[in-house]
A and B are shown apart, each in its own frame.
Chain A
Amino acid sequence: MRTTPLLSSLALGAAATLLLAGCSGGNSASNGDDSSGGSLVIDAAFSIETADPGNSYDPTGNMVAKALYETLVDFEGSDVTTPVDGLASWEQNDEATEFTFTLEDGRVFSDGSPIEADDVIFTMDRVKGMEEAKPNFLLAGITVEKIDEMTVKFTTETPLLQLPALLANPSLGIVNSEVVEANGGTTDGGDTAQAFLDGESAGSGPFTLESLDLTSQVVLTKNAEYNGDEEASYDRVVIRNVTESATQKINLEGGDTMVAMDLNGDQVSNLASGFTADSVPSGQTIFLLVNQNATVGGVTANPDFAKAVRYALDYDSLLELAGSGASQATGVIPTSFLGALDDGIVQDLDASAAALTASGYTGETIKLQYPNDYPVGGVEFTPLAERVQSQLEAAGIAVELAPAPFTTELDAYVNGTEGFSMWFWGPDYADSANFLPFAPGLKVGLRAGWTTEMNPEIADLATAAASETDPDARESVFTDFAAAMQEEGPFVPLMIPGSNIASADTVDGAVYNSIWTMDIAELTPAS
């Protein structure tokens, strides 16, 4: 028994460890508060750089900004097709170049001071002044002027029917100009207020900022001065950074959190009882790019090759990899946006074979490039690429997979040096104009080596869609654009991954929104 003391120490250590764990109490954060509207815990894989709305342009950042600040325009729930009044109502001229916003009477910031036109002007000019800020591009070509204490006018250089939708972006949340100016805020580009706004908020949203730790958690508390129509139901909300979706699921089922933002389709379908999930198509579209520049892509530059690929794929089979909430992409415009097509391509191997013959393809191996470390909506690109490879090989197209890290592959994609690749696209704001860059001669089109001269008809459709101001005519031209892209474009839209927000049955209102991910103020204790 010479080793007894050592073994005893070991046993004691193990017991102490378990005791400590037990003291903290597993499944700790159910804490009984969820039914009383006390506190709420949300798990999310963080994508946030600041709580300053003017510098924020990330999914988690937008969700936090949405809770802390209000915008002139809003959307209801997950519907991003129809902008509604936010802090203001508006009127616009027929040319969609002048938009007059009238602020709602009596609304106040979290310090009780009234929201006035000067705050709106300062907010917009501040973002315009900060050239290095990510949301800066949202206000390109837009000027704002004060009409009176409660009225401002936005003027655009070109017709911009999507301006109201653009102003619903949480990055353009209205800040308390007096408070921000007193803490380094300016409109001349020398703004230094971010540090202040990372410590406390200066908005009129349903919540105020209690603390911000970009690596671990953001804590919000109810705005006692809030007098809008979306009052917070919880006194305190903790948003935690949990990058692993498997951990989010365990935390949710164990009661440590009440909402999990990033579960994939499989995890949602295996949720235990007592939990529900809002599974809807996200705003992202995963697509294949078929380069039209012969120097870059070789045989892929023949438009018939893209057609052969388009009809060779079994889209339902691809969707099996995406799980709950995902849907087939019916075109470059996702189904929740104006002008989206009703039906997607159906596999037609005869049409594919005919197009392949017409393309001049002679059996050469085509390299399929894609980012292999950047799942979109829970969809891993490697298994998806493998399935595409398998289906194309069955249709007579030899494919070699060429994965690379996102940051490496992004360079080649942006510079248009990929012959055949798999990527994704999501909206910057809630309007179909976001998808016009797929047109020939525009940003994404050029990444596929697709110049205006290669298809002037589609280029004209994109121009018409961008400038059309009549709502009905606008829908029609966007639909025409989407249909033409589906028939002749160098892109093969594959799927819209699902967005799965899972929550305990004790919480209502966990609904996905493609602009701000989730409106925390809409979360309420289940009745």
Chain B
Amino acid sequence: MLRRLVTSVLLLLGVTIVTFALTNLVPGDPIAAALGEGASNNPATVAAYVERYGLDKPLPVQYFIYLGNLLQGDLGRSLTTGRAVTTDLATAVPATIEIAIGAIVVSLLVSLALGTLAAYRRGLVTDQVVRVVSLIGLSVPTFWLALVAFNLFFLQLGIAPGSGRLSPQLTPPPTVTGFYTVDFLLNGDGVGFVDAMAHLALPVFVLSLFTVGLLTRFIRTSVLEVLDQDYVRAARAKGLSGTRVVLDYVLRGASLPILTVVGIAFGSLLSGTVLVEAVFAWPGLGTYAYDSATSLDLPGVMGVGLVVGVIYLLVNFVVDLLYGFLDPRVRLG
């Protein structure tokens, strides 16, 4: 466990070094980008800005100041919003995690069903159909799908709400977790909860499609390998029901590699939400990352890099714990 902790810290340190170096290597003037034409022509404003953000110091000094502040939980002040990066991330991260969790849950349920079905019907029409569906999921451009789905379900059919996390006539719930659905429930607001869930539906659907394509193909392959195992044949021979065989033997046996891919897919969802967030006006991490990057907002970019890195590490940690739970032969190193 200690070795793992040390490795994690080193990995995060690496993330800060790479992000810091890459952001500073990009040619461009963050001051002009942040202040705009009029203000950047005013020497007093530029001088005050440079001093406020410590931009007059050598890069290594800036980096070590950043690290020192980081140890105290201070990610710096965004050059674009002017607020603490932790404040910005406190709203952006839950918004993205909310759709990412929704997408991974939906993807897992759908792909477990489709992948298992395809494996059981290997070579038959069902298998072919599932493989085509999976291929479509992997091939359809997310941005295009988001626009088409929004147009169809909201504008044409009128069964989905408009963009954003909440209908404009509602007020966001008092922040506890940052997840609107959870916070509405904690606040005992059923109407808000349903509205927040409804606004999640389309972004989750769009984000899920790619992950469904990815997981379905993987689950199919994993299940096929397990189906040939002796213990599955033995379970069938004992006369167990098909559902029990699938749930207790086949899926459990195939769960380790599936879990690994799910962990990777969740991480990808976090960093792949930029376009979906743009279409659905979802104020999440993807939007914040894009805005920070295009404004050369170093503290913002580094904050996003760190958060994504930490989440990746946490997800991997959870996956490793689940390994041990699903297969006692596996022990955490």
Binding site for B on A (CB under 8 A): 1-3, 5-7, 9-10, 13, 17-18, 20-29, 31, 39, 41, 43, 49-50, 55, 57-58, 131-138, 140, 194, 211, 213-217, 238, 240-244, 246-247, 250-251, 253-254, 256-257, 373, 405-411, 414, 425-426, 428, 443
**Interface stretch (choices B255-263, B281-289, B310-318):** B281-289
B residues engaging A (CB < 8 A)? 26-30, 32-33, 35-42, 44-45, 47-49, 52, 80-83, 88, 91-92, 106, 109-110, 112-113, 116-117, 120, 147, 150-151, 153-155, 157-165, 167-169, 171-172, 194-195, 197-199, 201-202, 204-205, 241-243, 245-246, 278-281, 283, 287-288, 294-296
Instruction: Assess the B194–A20 pair: CB atoms within 8 A.
Output: yes
Most buried by B among A1, A243, A425: A243
Residues of the B chain whose Cβ atoms lie less than 8 Å from the Cβ of A133: 39, 45
A20 to B194, CA, bound (A): 6
Q: Are B38 and A21 in contact (CB under 8 A)?
A: no
Is A22's CB under 8 angstroms from B159's CB? yes
- The reply to whether A6 and B287 form a contact with Cβ atoms under 8 Å apart is no
CB nearest to A45 among chain B residues: B281
Residue in A43, A408, A443 whose beta carbon sits within 8 Å of that of B27 in the complex: A408
Beta-carbon contact of B82 and A49 below 8 Å: yes
Q: Which residues of B contact A131 (CB under 8 A)?
A: 44-45, 47-48
Query: A29 vs B158: C-alpha distance in the bound complex, in angstroms?
Result: 12
Q: A407 to B29, alpha carbons, bound, how many Å?
A: 7
Complex contact A24–B44 (CB within 8 A): no
Chain B residues with CB under 8 Å of A1's CB are: 242
User: Are A407 and B169 CB-contacts (below 8 A) given A6-B116, A140-B42, A251-B162?
Assistant: no
B158 touches A408 (CB 8 A): no
Q: List 19 A-B contacts (CB under 8 A).
A: A6-B117, A6-B246, A13-B109, A20-B194, A21-B153, A21-B161, A23-B198, A27-B162, A49-B82, A137-B39, A138-B38, A213-B283, A240-B281, A242-B281, A243-B281, A244-B281, A247-B147, A247-B281, A428-B38
How far, in angstroms, from A383 to B40 measured CA to CA in the complex?
A: 29
**What is the bound-complex CA distance between A380 and B151, given in angstroms?**
23
- Residue among B36, B91, B168 making CB contact with A41, cutoff 8 Å: B168
With CB as the reference atom, state the residue of chain B lying closest to A437: B41
From B153, B162, B204, B287, residue with most partner A Cβ within 10 Å = B162
Closest to A239 in B: B168
Known pairs A49-B82, A57-B38, A407-B296; A28 contacts B167 (CB<8 A): yes
Closest B residue to A13 by CB, please name it. B109
Contact of A410 among B29, B92, B160 (CB under 8 A): B29
Q: Which residues of A contact B47 (CB under 8 A)?
A: 131
Write the nearest CB–CB distance from A477 to chain B, whole angstroms. Answer: 23
